[in-house]
Amino acid sequence: MFADEFGMNEPKNFLSPDDEHQPVLEDQNHCCLCGTELVFKHTVDYATLHVQEEAECPACMIKLKPKNFLLQ
Ligand SMILES: [Zn+2]
């Protein structure tokens, strides 16, 4: 005789998503030095499908590190 009761009442330990995570608001549109709105330049290299994003502050005349990302 086999009791048909195994495997049916096991609690499911599914992972609860961590909803506490809140992304830090990164202000990437304004100069970190003076707060002036940055001027963005995007250069697309269609040969490699890479986009280079350059940010420049017109007030400080500084250029931020260009970011490269891949077009999808
Ligand atoms: Zn600035």
42 contact partners, CB below 8 Å, separation of at least 6: 51, 52, 53, 54
Residue type, 71: L
> Residue 45 corresponds to which tokens in the numbers above?
């290299």
CA distances from 68 to 15, 19, 64 (A): 34, 30, 12
- Residue whose structure tokens are 């963005």: 40
For residue 35, the CA-to-ligand 1 centroid distance in Å is: 6
For residue 63, the CA-to-ligand 1 centroid distance in Å is: 9
- The pLDDT, as a whole number, for residue 16 is 56
For residue 71, the CA-to-ligand 1 centroid distance in Å is: 29
Query: Within its chain, how far is the Cα of 36 from the centroid?
Result: 23
Q: How confident is the model at residue 66 (pLDDT cuts 50, 70, 90)?
A: confident
* Residues 1-59: tens digit of each pLDDT: 565 666 555 566 666 565 556 555 667 799 989 999 999 999 999 999 999 999 999 99
